[in-house]
Amino acid sequence: MTFKNFVYKGVLMIAVLALIGWLGKYLYLVDGEIDWFRLMLVYGVPVGIPYMFFIIPARWDLSGTIGMVALCAIIGAVFGFIIAIGIAIRAVCMVCNRISNKLFAAKGEKQDMSTGENIKRIRKFRGMTQKELGIAIGIGEESASPRMAQYETDNRTPRKEMLHKMAVVLDVDPRNISIPTGYREEDMIYRLLVLEDYFPEMKLERNGKTGEVVINLQNKRINEFLYQWGTIRGKKKQGMISEDEYMQWKYCRNHA
């Protein structure tokens, strides 16, 4: 999410909706209680103006015309109110997401590595600007930089063929951009490579006798869990606990 989107679609929208509510409180508050129909009109009319199609038959009398105009206005207000609710929900989500991202960053916690972040990281590694990469994959010169910014902030998801074009230009395997989510051997290889981005101190330790390789994430909490897991698996293998007891531990215990 870009800062511009955060301001215009998040903070500004909340401010506008709050201002409408504050100015319209004299209309929808009746004896200190909310009149929900009036509240709908307060929010629905300003937002729903484009949906108010007035149909005025030529032969109708004045009362019929006024009734039709009122009906169209109410229908438009209903659409506007629904849209206003959607705008409010989106704005609140954007603000909350921005705040949570800042809090995670302040605590030094890494968030999930997204396709957009991978594009940004590899693009910078190749020394390319957003505009240069966008033009190289066939996006128009004027749209190249904004489109790549949308991709890198995950406001827009590149199609599969677009990912392949990026991979060719950046000279990387497409699976390094869009990390596989499956559990096949080839998928797991690329998923394991991502671990280094989260645990830069990790070690790959090879047993000289058996040739087995152990991944040590150098993380106390995870190492403690792995030790507990290994212990409980050993007990199951030795018959000290039943399969049901192991499954109970695996699926019903809070490991986090």
Judged against a pLDDT cut of 60, whether residue 110 lies above it is answered with: no
Structure token pair of residue 52 = 């108010």
Q: Which of 150-159, 174-183, 235-244 has the highest mean pLDDT?
A: 235-244
Q: Is the dihedral of CA 1, 92, 52, 46 positive or negative?
A: negative
The DSSP secondary-structure symbol of 178 reads: S
Sheet strands (E) in 12-76: 29-30, 33-34
Amino acid 109: pLDDT = 46
* Secondary structure of residue 206 in the 3-state scheme: strand
Q: Which comes out higher in pLDDT, residue 244 or 182?
A: 244
| Its pTM surpasses 0.85 | no
Q: Spell out the long-range contacts of 115-118 with Cβ–Cβ below 8 A and sequence spacing 24 or more.
A: 115/151, 115/154, 115/157, 115/158, 115/163, 115/177, 115/178, 115/179, 116/151, 116/152, 116/153, 116/154, 117/152, 117/154, 118/176, 118/177, 118/178, 118/179
Average pLDDT over residues 201-206: 90
Q: What's the pLDDT tens digit per position in 19-29?
A: 888 888 878 88
The C-alpha angle with vertex 192 and arms to 188 and 193, in degrees rounded to 5, equals: 120
Judged against a pLDDT cut of 90, whether residue 129 lies above it is answered with: yes
Judged against a pLDDT cut of 80, whether residue 148 lies above it is answered with: yes
